C-alpha cells in the first residue's frame, strides 16, 4: 500500500536539512517493495509536496530538489581525465560545508561528452573559507551552472550524481569518485602504458633558395608537399613587412630539417650568402639536420668555405625524381 500524504510529509521533514536544496531519502526508509515502485513514490512527492523528485535506482534513494535557499553556492569544473588531482580540494571543501549545506558530484559518462562538476551550497560564513580553497587549488568556477541545472540534467539521465555527506572521509570520497566515473582517468591509462607526453606530427622542413632559381625549386617543393611533407618556404610563410632574417630564424626554430638549394645565383648574391651563413649557423647551434642540393656546376666552397666537405646532391648530374626520393629518405631517417 502506497504511503499517504501525511506519511510522505513525515519522511520529508525527517530528512530535510533546513536551507539545503537537496533531500535524500533512502528507499529502505520508505518500504521494501520492488525497485520499480519507487518511481511512483517520487511522483507522489512531486504531486503532494510540489517538489522535484527523482528515484535513483543506482544509489537506492529518492532525491528531492526543493530550491536554493543557502546564502553561498558555487559550481566547480572537475576535468574528467584528471579527477584524482581534485580529490584533496573536494575533501577540504566538504569539511567546511556543514550538515545544512551540500556537496554534490555530478558526472557525465556519455562518450564524447565526458565532463564533471562539483556543486556546493553552504552557509554564508562558510562561503569565504570555500573561496579560499578554490583559490588555493586554482579551481575553475562555472557561474552558468548551479545545483538546479545539474539536478535537472541528472533527472534526464545525462549526469550521475553523488551526494557527499558532511562526515565523509577522504578515503570515502576517493571511493565515490571511483564509483561515479565509468571511464579511465589519464593516470589510470598512464599506469597501463599509455604515453600522453608524445605528440606525433609531420616533420617540418625549412627551404633555403635563391629566388632566381624559384621555378625549379617550386617544382621540387610542390612534389615534396604532395608526398606529405610540411614545408617552411618564404613564398608563403614570410608575411609582407616581416624582417626577412628574423622570419628565417623563426622558420628554422620551428622546423626539424632544412634543404639548401645552391647555385651560381647564390654565389653572385651578397644577401644570399649572408642568408646562407645565418641559416648554417642556426642549424648548427640547434643541432638540426640539413640536405644540400647543388643546382648547377657552382663550386659550393666558393659560396661558403668547407661547405663542399658535406654530402650534397648534384642535380646537374642527376634527375629530379631521384632527388625527391633521396630527400624524402633523408627526412624520414631523421630522429
Q: What is the DSSP letter of 203?
A: P
> Which of helix, strand or coil describes residue 125?
helix
Q: What is the mean pLDDT of residues 51-56?
A: 87
- 9-22 mean pLDDT: 83
pLDDT of residue 201: 66
147: Cβ contacts below 8 Å, ≥ 6 apart: 21, 22, 65, 68, 73, 75, 102, 104, 119, 121
pLDDT of residue 241: 43
d(CA 147, CA 106): 9
- The mean per-residue pLDDT over the stretch 160-181 comes to 92
pLDDT surpassing 50 at residue 139: yes
pLDDT at 261: 93
Instruction: Output 327 or 196, whichever has higher pLDDT.
Output: 327
Mean pLDDT of 254-276: 87
CA angle 49, 52, 55 (to 5 degrees): 105
pLDDT of residue 167: 83
Q: Taking 60 as the threshold, does the pLDDT of residue 240 lie above it? A: no
Cell of 209: 633558395
Are 247 and 253 spatial neighbours (Cβ–Cβ below 8 Å)? no
Interval 138-154 mean pLDDT: 91
Residue 85 is predicted with a pLDDT of 94
Q: What is the mean pLDDT of residues 156-185?
A: 91
CA torsion, ordered 169, 126, 13, 31, to nearest 10 deg = -20
Tell me: pLDDT of 267 over 60: yes
Q: In terms of residues, how long is the chain?
A: 335
List the one residue out of 22, 12, 62, 57 whose CA is nearest residue 42.
62
Amino acid at each position: 500500500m502506497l504511503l499517504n500524504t501525511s506519511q510522505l510529509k513525515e519522511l520529508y521533514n525527517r530528512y530535510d536539512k533546513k536551507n539545503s536544496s537537496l533531500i535524500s531519502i533512502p528507499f529502505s526508509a520508505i518500504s521494501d517493495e520492488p525497485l520499480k515502485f519507487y518511481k511512483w513514490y517520487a511522483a507522489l512527492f512531486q504531486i503532494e509536496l510540489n517538489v522535484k523528485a527523482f528515484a535513483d535506482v543506482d544509489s537506492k534513494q529518492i532525491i528531492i530538489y526543493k530550491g536554493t535557499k543557502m546564502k553561498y553556492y558555487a559550481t566547480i569544473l572537475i576535468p574528467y581525465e584528471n579527477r584524482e588531482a581534485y580529490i584533496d580540494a573536494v575533501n577540504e571543501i566538504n569539511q567546511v560545508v556543514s550538515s545544512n549545506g551540500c556537496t554534490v558530484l555530478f558526472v557525465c559518462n556519455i562518450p564524447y561528452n565526458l565532463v564533471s562538476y562539483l556543486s556546493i551550497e553552504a552557509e554564508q560564513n562558510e562561503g569565504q573559507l570555500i573561496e579560499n580553497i578554490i583559490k588555493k587549488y586554482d579551481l575553475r568556477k562555472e557561474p552558468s551552472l548551479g545545483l538546479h541545472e545539474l539536478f535537472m540534467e541528472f533527472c534526464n539521465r545525462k549526469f550521475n550524481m553523488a551526494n557527499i555527506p558532511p562526515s565523509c572521509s577522504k578515503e570515502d570520497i576517493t571511493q565515490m569518485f571511483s564509483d561515479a566515473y565509468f571511464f579511465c582517468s589519464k593516470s589510470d591509462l598512464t599506469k597501463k602504458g599509455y604515453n600522453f607526453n608524445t605528440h606525433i606530427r609531420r616533420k617540418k622542413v625549412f627551404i633555403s633558395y635563391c629566388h632566381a632559381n624559384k621555378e625549379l625549386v617550386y617544382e621540387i617543393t610542390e612534389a615534396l608537399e604532395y608526398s606529405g611533407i610540411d614545408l617552411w618556404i618564404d613564398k608563403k610563410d614570410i608575411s609582407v613587412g616581416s624582417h626577412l632574417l628574423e622570419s628565417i630564424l623563426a622558420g628554422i626554430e620551428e622546423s626539424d630539417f632544412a634543404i639548401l638549394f645552391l647555385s651560381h645565383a647564390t654565389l653572385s648574391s651578397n644577401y644570399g650568402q649572408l642568408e646562407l651563413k645565418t641559416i648554417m649557423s642556426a642549424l648548427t647551434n640547434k643541432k638540426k639536420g640539413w640536405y644540400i642540393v647543388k643546382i648547377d656546376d657552382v663550386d659550393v666552397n666558393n659560396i661558403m668555405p668547407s661547405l663542399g666537405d658535406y654530402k650534397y646532391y648534384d642535380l646537374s648530374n642527376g634527375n629530379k625524381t631521384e632527388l625527391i626520393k633521396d630527400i624524402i629518405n633523408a627526412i624520414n631517417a631523421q630522429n
